Structure 1
Amino acid sequence: GGGWAALGAWGAVQFLAVGDWGGVPDPPFATPREVATAAAMGRAATDLGADFVLALGDNFYYEGVRDEWDPRFQETFERVFTAPGLQELPWFVLAGNHDHAGNVTAQLAYGHHSPRWHFPHYYYSLRLSLPGTNASARLLMLDTVLLCGGGDDFGVGAQLAWLRGRLAAARHDRYVLVAGHYPVWSVAEHGPTACLVRLLRPLLRRYRVTAYLCGHDHNLQFLEEGGVGYVVSGAGNFVEESQHHSGAVPPGSLRFFFGAPASPGGFAHLRLDAHAATVTYLEATGRVLYRVALPPRDL
């Protein structure tokens, strides 16, 4: 779709990561936070640069969509993310638990109706070329709801086998990012996801994954453990301040937390270049909340 021509126009691959952005099921179908976050994402795309948007699930509250013609696609997506800087950008989408409460195959099918909605399969892989280098990065999109018991065991085994194969094949990529809806580590309301700590964390460490990106908890967090960065970006629609699970993450792993209830929302901007993967957390006001640079993988 549109937007690929500009890929890497900033001497880097750059994208916005927003989770839990999916409005509400009643008029006007978008929350004030979603509207403010969408506007700020447009400004960030223009000012900092962006090649695409990563949608980290819970795309439609509270029960997903009914079918591929559901008006919620217009009300909560197309008519909200209208800023000039966002208009041309492709969205790469994965499903959250609220999406699975409805019809996820309808979200897959919606790609046929919108040039900017890319959701080819429940889990899928993107290869990103770093401009001005011969280096590449890999972005692996997961369905953590299916991985954590939202489906049959056969499906879990198939997704894990796919992930292992993709991680092994990415051994020469300068950065490998994995994205899912549920967090591995989080200090907030939902806290760590036991199934992902068990199934996913060992793979992230073994294959020296640069970062794992997620939503589910409605705040912004950065944690670091075992050489892996954990980016929680779930503040696109609601903001919650609870750190109820601060004792459930590895000691010293939490580097940043933002969940001010009065905040108009927030998201993350990622920049991948030859030297670093830089994660910048932005409030919907445009304020930079935190920035961290993650090194290239030691190949």
Structure 2
Amino acid sequence: MSMSFLFTFTIIISFGLCILYASAELQRLSHSSKHDGALSFLVLGDWGRRGAYNQSQVSFQMGKVGEKLDIDFVVSTGDNFYDNGLTSDHDNAFQESFTQIYTAKSLQKQWYSVLGNHDYRGDAEAQLSPVLREIDSRWLCLRSFIVDSELVEIFFVDTTPFVEEYFTEPQEHKYDWRGIGPQKPYITNLLKDLELALRESTAKWKIVVGHHAIRSVGHHGDTQELINQLLPILQANNIDFYMNGHDHCLEHISDTESPIQFLTSGAGSKAWRGDIKGMNRRDVNFFYDGQGFMSVKLTQTDATIEFYDVFGNVLHRLTSSKQLHSSM
């Protein structure tokens, strides 16, 4: 075997491994709708504090609303465990902040979760581990994936690697970038896979979930990297809702260039930050600087989204309708 052939073969294999390593292909999971075709779920973010900062009280109200709506599952928008994620897949914080807190009967459903920036500050891969699902079968956390119920497709996007400052100015924090590979190829592949999946989707409703806000008037505000790279793809593919956490508040902001509604549910525990930017923006429909969560109910023709505070009061309601087209 010639040296030139060995060199060429090595280059081809290395290139292939690089492409494989940087790939962010979306895994697809199925979740059936109810017999009448409807679907309902709760959305919660920024919560895991061993019950502190009203986490337990929010959980109690979630249980009541979950029972009333007969929810099918729960969506977590990230920052699942504070302050620095989990130390391993045997970290007691998993049970102390999740299993022992969300105990209501109605919450014993599948939880679909993404990672937030605080999760990346610990052992990020621990939250992806099947070991956690053995401890509590409700738990399912992946980087980016799709939940398909036919009525709706929910596209979960790993937004933390988009944010440049986590790479360039991590300050005292150490981020666990294992499994990400080079940042730019990872994001490029993720966006390519997401765009293809959105374009091919035939679901009545299309929802995208990420940890970071695209639009927000809370402490962190808009995420410019998502505005530049993710938002154009969402606008071009008829997305109904973008749901996120990161800012510890509840908010509803409308896109000024498309029908997309930006919905923040990051108030699962520590809130009341008091840092609000641009409340006079004409696209802001609702903002609440306190603990709470969000519910979503979908049918073939209607979406009803409600924001609740820590006492279970409905603070804001969003309704959206679509025409029911019959096939000829």
TM-score after normalising by structure 2 = 0.79
Aligned partner letter, 2:95: Q
Aligned partner letter, 1:77: F
| 1:296 pairs with 2:322 | yes
Who wins on radius of gyration, i.e. which is larger?
2
Contact 1:143 1:181 in 2 (8 A): yes
Deviations 1:99-118 (A, max 9, x none): 00011111010234321001
Deviations 1:45-87 (A, max 9, x none): 1112210000110000010001111101110000000012112
User: Displacement, 1:92?
Assistant: 0.2
User: Displacement, 1:12?
Assistant: 1.4
Report what 2:135 is aligned to.
113
Report what 1:197 is aligned to.
227
Aligned partner letter, 1:100: Y
Aligned partner of residue 111 in structure 1, secondary structure: helix
1:103 corresponds to which of 123, 126, 142: 123
Q: How many residues matched? A: 276
1:77 corresponds to which of 90, 98, 106: 98
Contact 1:186 1:192 in 2 (8 A): yes
Q: Among all aligned residue pairs of Structure 1 and Structure 2, give the percentage whose two residues are the same amino acid.
A: 28
User: Displacement, 1:6?
Assistant: 8.2
- Residues 32 and 238 (structure 1 numbering): CA distance in 2 closer, same or farther, change over 3 Å? closer
Report what 1:234 is aligned to.
266
Contact 2:147 2:153 in 1 (8 A): yes
Q: Distance in 2 between matches of 1:99 and 1:297?
A: 40
Q: Distance in 2 between matches of 1:90 and 1:14?
A: 12
C-alpha root-mean-square deviation of aligned residues, in Å?
Answer: 2.1
Q: Distance in 2 between matches of 1:165 and 1:215?
A: 25
Runs of 4+ in 1 over 6 A off after TM superposition: none
Q: Distance in 2 between matches of 1:15 and 1:181?
A: 17
1:138 corresponds to which of 150, 153, 164: 153
Report what 2:285 is aligned to.
255
Q: Distance in 1 between matches of 2:31 and 2:324?
A: 30
| 1:92 pairs with 2:112 | yes
| 1:148 pairs with 2:179 | no
Aligned partner of residue 46 in structure 1, secondary structure: helix
Structure 2 residue runs without a partner (length 5+): 1-29, 167-179
Aligned partner of residue 54 in structure 2, secondary structure: helix
Contact 1:229 1:294 in 2 (8 A): no
Report what 1:132 is aligned to.
none
- Residues 297 and 54 (structure 1 numbering): CA distance in 2 closer, same or farther, change over 3 Å? farther
Aligned partner of residue 246 in structure 1, secondary structure: coil
Q: Distance in 2 between matches of 1:169 and 1:215?
A: 27
Structure 1 residue runs without a partner (length 5+): 24-28, 130-135
Aligned partner letter, 1:144: T
1:45 corresponds to which of 58, 63, 66: 66
Aligned partner letter, 1:118: L
Contact 1:42 1:84 in 2 (8 A): yes
Q: Distance in 2 between matches of 1:187 and 1:298?
A: 35
Q: Distance in 2 between matches of 1:298 and 1:154?
A: 40
- Residues 191 and 52 (structure 1 numbering): CA distance in 2 closer, same or farther, change over 3 Å? same
Q: Distance in 2 between matches of 1:20 and 1:10?
A: 32
Report what 1:287 is aligned to.
313
- Residues 6 and 163 (structure 1 numbering): CA distance in 2 closer, same or farther, change over 3 Å? closer
TM-score after normalising by structure 1 = 0.87
Contact 1:236 1:267 in 2 (8 A): yes
Moved more, 282-291 or 148-157: 148-157
